[in-house]
Chain A
Amino acid sequence: MSVFVIIYFACLIASSCLAAYYEKRPTFLTLFSLTLISFVLGIVGGVPALRFVATAAGLLAFAAGISFAFREFIVIIAPANISKEVRTAPLTAAFGMFVIFTYAIAGIFAPWIAPYGESEVIASAFAMPDENMLLGADQLGRDMFSRIIYGARNTVGLALLATLAAFFMGAFAGLLAATKGGWFDQFMGRFADVIMSIPSLIFALLMLSIFGPQVTVIIVAVAIIYAPRVFRLTRAVAGNVVVMDYIEAAKLRGEKTWYLIRKEILPNSTAPLIAEFGLEFCFVFLLVAGLSFLGLGIQPPTADWGSMVRENATMISFGEITPLIPAAAIALLTVAVNFVVDWMLFRSSGLKE
């Protein structure tokens, strides 16, 4: 019986007792059932299995701790009305915000954070991690860590621009269609249907092979693909607002369409739109990464997570985790954004306990 196992069980039992003493029922149940499961795990898997459990629990606790601290941090520094909202945010949302914040920092300050340039060859192909290279080298001997950092700027920046473009187009068209109504609404609706009927990946591939894989083409193509979805949501949300009496009152006052959209309809449709923005961002991000993986996205030598996965894909058969790191970066951001979106959806839908 190693010291680790003794400490492991001692910690578990002590914390279960503490939880029981302070009448934290769910915590106690979790902790104590973990203790019981650990007996079985220890017998079947030995010390490594227990070590794995301990590491996982430690990571979770670490993430929860960071989320908690980050939430408190925002509550303190944010202005009163925002901090009141943030205080009610669940830990998952705080974790999501923290991850997004980290990515933003990495993207904005990439040249200062990354130790090497994104296309700088500094070692042999697939060199192992050492004190110079945190994550080793890629297939051309470039520093993996630096490329991940630059990738945050390129991939996330591109996806963000494309989503914003899609949103401006879609939301504006949707608001206009809902306000104008009649044949204009019909026309916009059918036009959106036409765009949506084309498979998105095929459409993007088509555009990129006609106009060449430039950044602007990617942004425009992706924006066109996603704008109809935004249009449909905005139109539906705004459609519920335009039938309100206050819109009728504004119309009877003689207000113009632009005033109606800006002052009366938009403020009442923002909550679902912001939530949708988060969701669409994930889809756009995955599409951009997918295009890169197919070789039609951001072109080398610019660092990009999607193409990094493809370029290093061969390494997976040697049991290396290198190609999984950019994939994990994509996954983490998607999960984080979804955490935040879930919280916003919860707030906007008014679902309260």
Chain B
Amino acid sequence: MSDKKQVLLDIRNLRIEGYTGEEWVPIIKGVDLKLHRGEVMGLIGESGAGKSTIGAAAMGFARDGTRISEGSIEFDGMELTTASEAEKRALRGSRIAYVAQSAAASFNPAHKIIDQHTEAPLHYRIQKRLEAQEDAMDLYERLRLPNPKEIGFRYPHQVSGGQLQRAMTAMAMACRPDLIIFDEPTTALDVTTQIEVLAAIRDIVDQFNTAAIYITHDLAVVAQMADTIKVLLKGEEVEQAPTEEMLQSPREDYTKSLWAVRSYQRPQQSRPEGEKPVISVQHVDAAYTGGVKVLDDVSFDIYRGMTVAVVGESGSGKSTAARCITGLLPPSKGQVLSNGEPLPPNYLNRSKDQLRQVQMIYQMADTALNPKVRISEIIGRPAQFYSGLRGADLKHRVDELLDLIELDPSKFYNRYPPELSGGQKQRIGIARALAAEPSFIICDEVTSALDQLVAEGILKLLDRLQKELDLAYMFITHDLATVRAIADEVVVMQNGKVVEQGPKDEMFTPPHHPYTDLLLSSVPEMDPNWLTTLLEERGVENVGEAADV
């Protein structure tokens, strides 16, 4: 395109500092960014790399507790660092728009979607109300939302997460901005839903020739969306290149390590002969009080030393199955056996030893560890509670556990969880589960809140512990890359039913159950043409319905 050459956003030597309560520390250490009209740039990096901070800075905005200390941000010839609040406010919403990670949290639940959509055009007097509403419906149609004429008159909680994310993209488009900032718009979505949103975003950005900054930590996603990719690490640029070039020949070691993460895989194991399964879930039905049935005749076995991955979209009943095994939600039908012995359905009726056998590692290490309790006590308590260890014995055991999870006991013994990084917290969560000396551990999305490199470390650790301690894992996840890396057997769940189960190798080779096929094909691949090819295969018009199978 001819106007592609025109520079829309020019950030030079941007430095941003954050206040820690005592001093200002640098967050962004001199980043340059040049974005042309109609260009889509992907910003990737681990958490703390400063992706979102740069995204906000592109609107001339510094979040609370941060300040732009140096550099210039020029948007279409206008210097934003020195512009007044009123001038910047006039830009935001009309010429620069922002799409946040969680659409559910960004929409006001008290107003209809279309009313929120038309707010900006009415405020800037670009359109009259009726005009704006018609335009909104047009955008909904282009974004392939079902019932575009009607969907806007619903409240945010009445539509699904993927639809809401698309409605938010439509809202960002309302004033036909020159630049949209997408801050992890699909991270909170299931793979199948993610596809619809990605396709919709890509089309609409293309149609209106809008420039965009696409922030994500998922390489495969950014490969589909961006023309150029910029890799960030700790507030500094690592490298920038056009997407194809970046994927084929990354220059820097850090970028190469990011690319390599997904290659980790361990050999598959088969079931031990002549043993009873450590945990056997038999024909379990479950429902929440007065509500819908969430589990329907679910059965699977988990053997000693093996990892069973339970996969499915959110709402498929993966976590509910885990709650039934732990006894938090007594099943309404069926039973759970441990080494052939039935477990009491309610955890309150289980003996100390039965409780000890089943341990859990949580998704959010932040909420899984009491922030006001020292590491030594978090890990020490189960050991003390179950084995009655005290004094020097207890300290010795805690040190042993810390060694096991590859953290230095002398450094971590007396610290509190908030002082640790995400990966370290997750390791403490693992140590707490190990302290009970269980035979079976439920891992509930343990890596999904972590950066890829950190997640890989956790997976390797879990794998090593499994070999050393002969543990059985139930691995709940929606990330098929994780399944490929660590699982021995796979259970695919949909709407509370087990759709398909079997050894991993079989599951990953066709023929599949149609739902398994949909899940597998929805996982983004590094190939930048993957989305286009996939949409052609499925038929573009059907992408929405395909996900609702």
B64, B355, B386: the one contacting A252 at CB < 8 Å is B355
| CB proximity to A under 8 Å, residues B342-379 | 347, 350, 352, 355, 358, 360, 362, 364, 367-373
**A248 and B370 contacting across the interface, CB-CB below 8 Å:** no
Known: A249-B432, A251-B347, A252-B360. A267 touches B373 (CB 8 A): yes
**Is A246 engaged at the interface, CB distance under 8 Å to the other chain?**
yes
B44 to chain A, nearest CB (A): 29
B19, B328, B370: the one contacting A267 at CB < 8 Å is B370
B346 to chain A, nearest CB (A): 11
**B370 and A246 contacting across the interface, CB-CB below 8 Å:** yes
A243 to chain B, nearest CB (A): 9
**B362 and A245 contacting across the interface, CB-CB below 8 Å:** yes
Residues of B within 8 A of A263 (CB): 370, 373
What residue of chain A has the Cβ atom nearest to residue B436's Cβ?
A: A253
**Is A264 engaged at the interface, CB distance under 8 Å to the other chain?**
yes
Known: A244-B367, A353-B64. A254 touches B432 (CB 8 A): no
Separation of A264 and B370 alpha carbons in the complex (Å): 7
A57 to chain B, nearest CB (A): 32
**A252 and B385 contacting across the interface, CB-CB below 8 Å:** no
| CB proximity to A under 8 Å, residues B424-450 | 432, 436
Residues of B within 8 A of A132 (CB): none
**A248 and B364 contacting across the interface, CB-CB below 8 Å:** no
**Is B382 engaged at the interface, CB distance under 8 Å to the other chain?**
yes
Give the interface residue-count category, chain B. Answer: 20 to 34
Residues of A within 8 A of B355 (CB): 252-254
**B370 and A268 contacting across the interface, CB-CB below 8 Å:** yes
**B21 and A352 contacting across the interface, CB-CB below 8 Å:** yes
**Is B510 engaged at the interface, CB distance under 8 Å to the other chain?**
no
In this complex, how many residues of chain A approach chain B with their Cβ under 8 Å: the count is 17
**B385 and A254 contacting across the interface, CB-CB below 8 Å:** yes
Separation of A248 and B373 alpha carbons in the complex (Å): 15
Separation of A353 and B20 alpha carbons in the complex (Å): 10
**A252 and B328 contacting across the interface, CB-CB below 8 Å:** yes
Known: A245-B362, A251-B347. A352 touches B65 (CB 8 A): yes
Residues of B within 8 A of A254 (CB): 347, 350, 352, 355, 385
Residues of B within 8 A of A249 (CB): 360, 362, 368, 432
What residue of chain A has the Cβ atom nearest to residue B362's Cβ?
A: A245
B309 to chain A, nearest CB (A): 21
Per-residue A-contact encoding for B129-163, CB less than 8 Å = 1, 0 else? 00000000000000000000000000000000000
**Is A255 engaged at the interface, CB distance under 8 Å to the other chain?**
yes
Known: A252-B355, A254-B355, A353-B65. A246 touches B368 (CB 8 A): yes
Known: A88-B21, A245-B368, A268-B370. A252 touches B347 (CB 8 A): yes
**Is B516 engaged at the interface, CB distance under 8 Å to the other chain?**
no
B358, B367, B386, B436: the one contacting A246 at CB < 8 Å is B367
B328, B385, B432: the one contacting A248 at CB < 8 Å is B328
Known: A249-B360, A252-B326, A253-B355. A352 touches B367 (CB 8 A): no
Separation of A251 and B368 alpha carbons in the complex (Å): 12
Residues of A within 8 A of B327 (CB): 252
Residues of A within 8 A of B386 (CB): 253
What residue of chain B has the Cβ atom nearest to residue A270's Cβ?
A: B372
A94 to chain B, nearest CB (A): 18
| CB proximity to B under 8 Å, residues A231-269 | 244-246, 248-249, 251-255, 263-264, 267-268
B389 to chain A, nearest CB (A): 15
Separation of A253 and B362 alpha carbons in the complex (Å): 14
Which one of A244, A249, A255, A353 has the greatest number of beta carbons of chain B within 10 Å? A249
| CB proximity to B under 8 Å, residues A195-253 | 244-246, 248-249, 251-253
Separation of A267 and B369 alpha carbons in the complex (Å): 13
Separation of A253 and B372 alpha carbons in the complex (Å): 18
Separation of A245 and B449 alpha carbons in the complex (Å): 15
**A245 and B364 contacting across the interface, CB-CB below 8 Å:** yes
Residues of B within 8 A of A253 (CB): 355, 381-382, 385-386, 436
Separation of A267 and B19 alpha carbons in the complex (Å): 27
Residues of A within 8 A of B369 (CB): 246
Separation of A255 and B384 alpha carbons in the complex (Å): 12
Separation of A268 and B370 alpha carbons in the complex (Å): 8
Residues of B within 8 A of A246 (CB): 367-370
Which one of B65, B352, B368 has the greatest number of beta carbons of chain A within 10 Å? B368
Separation of A267 and B350 alpha carbons in the complex (Å): 28
Residues of A within 8 A of B362 (CB): 245, 249
Residues of B within 8 A of A255 (CB): 385
Per-residue B-contact encoding for A90-132, CB less than 8 Å = 1, 0 else? 0000000000000000000000000000000000000000000
Separation of A249 and B327 alpha carbons in the complex (Å): 12
B21, B347, B372, B381: the one contacting A268 at CB < 8 Å is B372
What residue of chain B has the Cβ atom nearest to residue A246's Cβ?
A: B370
Residues of A within 8 A of B370 (CB): 244, 246, 263-264, 267-268
Residues of B within 8 A of A352 (CB): 19, 21, 64-65
Which one of A88, A252, A353 has the greatest number of beta carbons of chain B within 10 Å? A252
A241 to chain B, nearest CB (A): 9
What residue of chain A has the Cβ atom nearest to residue B351's Cβ?
A: A254
Separation of A251 and B432 alpha carbons in the complex (Å): 14
What residue of chain B has the Cβ atom nearest to residue A352's Cβ?
A: B65
Separation of A252 and B370 alpha carbons in the complex (Å): 15
Residues of A within 8 A of B368 (CB): 244-246, 249
A248, A251, A268, A353: the one contacting B371 at CB < 8 Å is A268
Residues of B within 8 A of A267 (CB): 370, 372-373
B190 to chain A, nearest CB (A): 22
Separation of A155 and B8 alpha carbons in the complex (Å): 69
Residues of A within 8 A of B347 (CB): 251-252, 254
Residues of B within 8 A of A248 (CB): 328
Separation of A244 and B364 alpha carbons in the complex (Å): 10
A347 to chain B, nearest CB (A): 10
**A353 and B367 contacting across the interface, CB-CB below 8 Å:** no
Per-residue A-contact encoding for B20-50, CB less than 8 Å = 1, 0 else? 0100000000000000000000000000000
Separation of A263 and B373 alpha carbons in the complex (Å): 8
B19, B352, B358: the one contacting A353 at CB < 8 Å is B19
Separation of A246 and B64 alpha carbons in the complex (Å): 30
B528 to chain A, nearest CB (A): 38
Separation of A255 and B368 alpha carbons in the complex (Å): 16
Residues of B within 8 A of A268 (CB): 370-372
B277 to chain A, nearest CB (A): 21
| CB proximity to B under 8 Å, residues A254-289 | 254-255, 263-264, 267-268
Separation of A351 and B385 alpha carbons in the complex (Å): 38
Residues of A within 8 A of B364 (CB): 245
B481 to chain A, nearest CB (A): 24
What residue of chain A has the Cβ atom nearest to residue B364's Cβ?
A: A245
A299 to chain B, nearest CB (A): 45
Separation of A252 and B348 alpha carbons in the complex (Å): 8
Separation of A88 and B364 alpha carbons in the complex (Å): 31
**B367 and A245 contacting across the interface, CB-CB below 8 Å:** yes
Separation of A300 and B18 alpha carbons in the complex (Å): 59
Per-residue B-contact encoding for A337-353, CB less than 8 Å = 1, 0 else? 00000000000000011
What residue of chain A has the Cβ atom nearest to residue B371's Cβ?
A: A268
Q: What are 13 inter-chain pairs, A to B, with CB distance below 8 A?
A: A244-B367, A245-B367, A248-B328, A252-B327, A253-B355, A253-B382, A253-B385, A254-B347, A254-B350, A264-B370, A267-B370, A267-B372, A353-B65
Q: Which 3 A-B pairs have the closest CB atoms?
A: A267-B372, A245-B368, A246-B370
Residues of chain A at the chain B interface (Cβ within 8 Å): 88, 244-246, 248-249, 251-255, 263-264, 267-268, 352-353
Q: A252-B326, A267-B373, A352-B64 are in contact. List 20 more A-B contacts (CB 8 A).
A: A244-B370, A245-B364, A245-B367, A245-B368, A246-B368, A249-B432, A251-B347, A252-B327, A252-B328, A252-B358, A253-B382, A253-B436, A254-B347, A254-B385, A255-B385, A263-B370, A267-B370, A268-B370, A268-B372, A353-B19
